[in-house]
Chains A and B, each alone.
Chain A
Amino acid sequence: MVSIKKNNDVGKDKDNQQKNKTKSFVHLMLDNPAFSALIFLVIFFSIISTRFFSVNNIINIFTQVSITAIIAFGMTFVITSANIDLSVGSVLALAGMVFMALSVAGIPVFWGVLITIGLGALIGFFDGFVVTFFKLPSFIATLAMMTIARGLALLMRGGTTISQGIQPSYYWLGQSRIAGIPFPVIALMLIFLFMEFLMSRTTFGTYTRAIGSNPEAARLAGISNNRILIIIFAIVGICSAIAGIITASRLGVGSPVTGQMRELDAITAVILGGTAMSGGIGTIRGTFVGALVVTILNNGLTIMGVSSYWQQILLGLVLIGALAIKKFQRS
């Protein structure tokens, strides 16, 4: 039944594609709701406020988007494989705490970064192991990891932050600039290029989409679904750890309560970017656009002086709106 329904959708997609051969701008916009939303938001905020379209604010936006986007890149692989990871926010907090604790312990920053990323990978491996070997739905497995990682982060300093005795080199990753560009933005761009390459140009990306599209067909085609899934969860774990390092380094503090609701920001960015919740379809560039929409909406509204409560409401409406346009178009 489900397959038949999907089938219909895709059949209609093809009709859409043919219509699009006119390549009219309107169609291009309608086909990429996130992209159109991005352009609309940029134009709208530029008109409303002169402060919006300035070099400083653009750098600011990219700095703000870095955390959400880096997590969302990993999340794109997870959702494309028809899974979900709810633990990213907690892993971010735990990674930040561990990173700062390593600093206090006198570990050189290079090793601090490596160990923290290793921890992220390990948590991802564990999630992937639980999902593949115990056959638990990833929603449940990562929901459990969400509370486990948060609990560990809180346990480390009895619920308090780590802010004393941190080596100055540990701030560099979050606070330094290279040629005027903040390091988090450079990290974002490098990770974006790598992940885009991984998704669209490697066998790994192809296998990710194949597993999300039809796991049994993928298995019969000789793909080791379990191996790929475990790597996918390790990747999202690494992404969360990097986001945690940047967050802690920027704030100069390891805090066990950061990153709450980050999983929802990341999922919003992924879905806005055109990745299918049901799996099989997903691009990293789409996710980047989705993350920019989320961030620019918040940034622009803040400049306009709209309260953050209203920002949340608007973000929810944009998400519904973008997906509704897509569905409406398909039927």
Chain B
Amino acid sequence: MANNNHNILDFKNITKHYPGTVALNDVSFGIKKGEIFGLMGENGAGKSTLLKILSGAEQETGGEILLDGEKLTGNPYERRVKGISMVYQGLGLALELTAEENILLGNEKTSKIGTINHKAQVKKARSVMEKIGVDFNLRVPVYNLSADEKQLVAIVRAISLNAKVVALDEPTSSLSRNEVEKLFNIIRKLSKEENISFIFVSHHLDEVFKITERIAVLKDGQLQGVLETKDTNSQMLTEMMVGSKIMKQHTKQFFKENPVPDSNKVILEVKNLTRKGFFDNLSFKVREGEIFGIAGLLGSGRTPLIKSIFGAEVFDSGEIIFRGKKVKFLSPKQAIESGMVYLTDDRLNEGILKTMTVGENITIENMKKVSSKNGVINRKRNYDTQKEFIDKFSIRTTGVNQSMPSLSGGNQQKALFARLVNTDCDFLLLNEPSRGIDVKIKEEMHELMFNFVSSKSGRAIVMASSELPELVSTSSRVAVMRQGRIADILTGDDINEAKIIEKMV
């Protein structure tokens, strides 16, 4: 490969704004011809947005992409013809169509009058399949194929149109170990023999180490750096993904001076909690006055755990004892009525009510407080409550009637936190409380959390987070999860970034 230094693809200062959030901020890096390039980051770091901009499904707010030195433009189909192919996580196959039809979808071989020439299509598909040495039935609907065969259909489809760059989004998520190995061999072969470049998106560290040559790490829409895979290790990568480097200045530790004594009464006890495939045999106790941190990488089980406690998801076995009573909530409603509330990690899709006002978004979880027994809203009390929280949490709005999506991400998050506090529940389950918000509001959120637990007795918070500085700063103790198990529960001086990372990977 003589032209090894030649970049086939260049991202130049790519920026993407959504109302209220900056999804990507000035991201620049290049990918060489025939290179297998890893793209890593936690949820919401900007990986998917970057891929969507590359494919043409979304328009960048600023910056440009160069393919072979030329500015890349056009819709997804035009870009595919130019050599940019995507294999999305759901594979993007039409399951009712046959493999042959899927591979040539949008690029059919037709006769003069427009009918499909299946013979020619099969021939074309076969030629690609032989090139990479795979075989599957071309004539049956794709839903009849196994998971790895579907993956192969998607890859054959991706490279059938003279692909120069193929982006694979979490390609291994539905594959067994053997199948992953096979897939990797195919990727290596294509990169060596056909000089095709791959963008490999995955949150499995071991896979990324195995297959890639270089890795770019994104966090909160920022490029943290591009590393040579052989010069790095899981510790370094994890640090970059969870961002201990950039947030060093934020090291106020709320519980350092006054730790929560073991004698405090237990508010939540989790015993041997298990949900097959998600988490296994988890046990811990949360005491009055605590902010109990749960650390773990994407896929470690922190979200399923916290949602299962809340009754938004189910668990298979084990016990949850809340304020001395054994509970198993069948719905969030039951959990809220028993005195616990949940803050989602997916603000856009599970948190905000987009068509409603900021004020309504705050009071929605406790309408009882602002209405009579038979459900008639007391408009003055409603307004006063909304106004009270907007002032108390200094949410920046033009008023209670501003529409929720027009707030910045940080202020939306504060409004959601206000929604929880307005329920008068004394136990909060927070999932990524400061995801996608700027440093200043992050600190405000942390103050709000600490004030919450310290201002009244009988209160506690469980906080799942992928951000180490946040965990270190706000947690009284930190349970570190790894692949569905609690690797360790850290206390006191052990709550530091190095120790957490050591247990995480």
A and B from one assembly?
yes
Choose from B312, B371, B402, B406 the contact partner of A220 (Cβ within 8 Å): B312
The reply to whether the CB of A160 lies closer than 8 angstroms to some CB of chain B is no
Do residues B355 and A217 form an inter-chain contact, with CB atoms below 8 A?
A: no
Q: Shortest beta-carbon distance, A152 to chain B, in Å? A: 33
**Contact mask for chain B residues 305-347; partner A; CB cutoff 8 A; 1 contact, 0 none:** 0000010100000000000000000011101110001101000
Q: 13 extra interchain contacts, Cβ-Cβ under 8 A, other than A10-B403, A203-B368, A213-B356? A: A4-B18, A10-B405, A11-B19, A201-B377, A203-B376, A209-B355, A210-B356, A217-B344, A217-B352, A221-B419, A223-B364, A224-B331, A280-B356
Choose from B356, B419, B423 the contact partner of A209 (Cβ within 8 Å): B356
Do residues A220 and B350 form an inter-chain contact, with CB atoms below 8 A?
A: yes
The reply to whether the CB of A147 lies closer than 8 angstroms to some CB of chain B is no
The reply to whether the CB of B81 lies closer than 8 angstroms to some CB of chain A is no
**Contact mask for chain B residues 342-386; partner A; CB cutoff 8 A; 1 contact, 0 none:** 101000111111111000100011011001000111010000000
Q: How many A-B residue pairs have CB under 8 A?
A: 111
CB closest residue in chain B, given A4: B18
Contacts of A203 in B (CB 8 A): 367-368, 371, 375-377
Give the secondary structure class of A's interface. helix
Q: Shortest beta-carbon distance, A202 to chain B, in Å? A: 5
Q: Shortest beta-carbon distance, A222 to chain B, in Å? A: 4
Contact A10:B402 (CB < 8 A) given known A204-B375, A219-B331, A224-B333: no
Do residues B353 and A201 form an inter-chain contact, with CB atoms below 8 A?
A: no
Contact A3:B376 (CB < 8 A) given known A11-B19, A222-B337, A222-B365: no
Give A278 to B344 CA distance when docked, in angstroms.
23
Chain B interface residues (CB < 8 Å from chain A): 18-20, 57, 310, 312, 331-333, 335-337, 341-342, 344, 348-356, 360, 364-365, 367-368, 371, 375-377, 379, 402-406, 419, 423
Give A219 to B402 CA distance when docked, in angstroms.
23
Chain A interface residues (CB < 8 Å from chain B): 1, 3-4, 6-8, 10-11, 13-14, 17, 201-204, 206-207, 209-210, 212-214, 216-224, 276, 279-281
Do residues B353 and A7 form an inter-chain contact, with CB atoms below 8 A?
A: no
11 interchain pairs, CB-CB under 8 A: A3-B349, A7-B18, A7-B354, A218-B364, A219-B332, A220-B350, A222-B341, A222-B423, A223-B364, A224-B331, A281-B355
Do residues A11 and B406 form an inter-chain contact, with CB atoms below 8 A?
A: yes
Q: Shortest beta-carbon distance, A97 to chain B, in Å? A: 34
Contacts of A207 in B (CB 8 A): 367
Give A36 to B402 CA distance when docked, in angstroms.
25
Give A280 to B357 CA distance when docked, in angstroms.
11
Contact A222:B333 (CB < 8 A) given known A7-B19, A202-B371: yes
Do residues B354 and A6 form an inter-chain contact, with CB atoms below 8 A?
A: yes
Choose from A1, A210, A279 the contact partner of B364 (Cβ within 8 Å): A210
Do residues A214 and B333 form an inter-chain contact, with CB atoms below 8 A?
A: no
Q: Shortest beta-carbon distance, A123 to chain B, in Å? A: 24
Q: Shortest beta-carbon distance, B88 to chain A, in Å? A: 12
Do residues B349 and A216 form an inter-chain contact, with CB atoms below 8 A?
A: yes
Give A260 to B368 CA distance when docked, in angstroms.
41
Contacts of A217 in B (CB 8 A): 344, 349-353
Contacts of A221 in B (CB 8 A): 332, 336, 364-365, 419
